[in-house]
Amino acid sequence: MKGVLAAILLLLPLAGRAAIERGCEPEYVDQVECNAFCTAAVGEFRTAVIFRDSKGRIIDWRWLTEDMKTQRLPDGFFLLTWDDFGVRFRAILVKRVSFTVSDYDVEMSERKHLPHEKRVKLRK
């Protein structure tokens, strides 16, 4: 599977080539949800990028940043790339991307069912 992912990245214009140039091995997740919600404490909208497995469980999340890029691939997948807090450059292949708006933080509410420390998480 690793070779297939690298081959897909070679076909991409900017985001895929940037991932290869930085030596980034892509990860795969089933679904990404971009959830915009209003924070009660600050009263402003924030957007969380939530990574889910095939059963819909949250495996990890990040705040949406300006450097996150999304690219639709010819085979129907999406590629998300970004610099993850200077720790590493990330490339994520995704089957489905959804956009939601809510009046609460979806990730925080789901911690009741699957605590943060028990999640699979993206690679370090």
Over residues 68-95, the pLDDT tens digits come to: 888 888 888 888 888 877 777 888 889 8
77: left (phi over 0), alpha (psi -120 to 50) or beta: beta
Judge contact between 59 and 53, C-beta under 8 A. Answer: yes
Residue 107 pLDDT: 79
Residue 124 inside a domain? The answer is no
Residue 123 inside a domain? The answer is no
Q: Helix, strand, coil shares of the chain as percentages rounded to 5?
A: 20, 40, 40
Tens of pLDDT, residues 19-53: 555 666 778 899 999 988 887 766 778 888 999 99
**Per-residue pLDDT band at 63 (split at 50, 70, 90):** confident
Total domains in the fold of the chain: 1
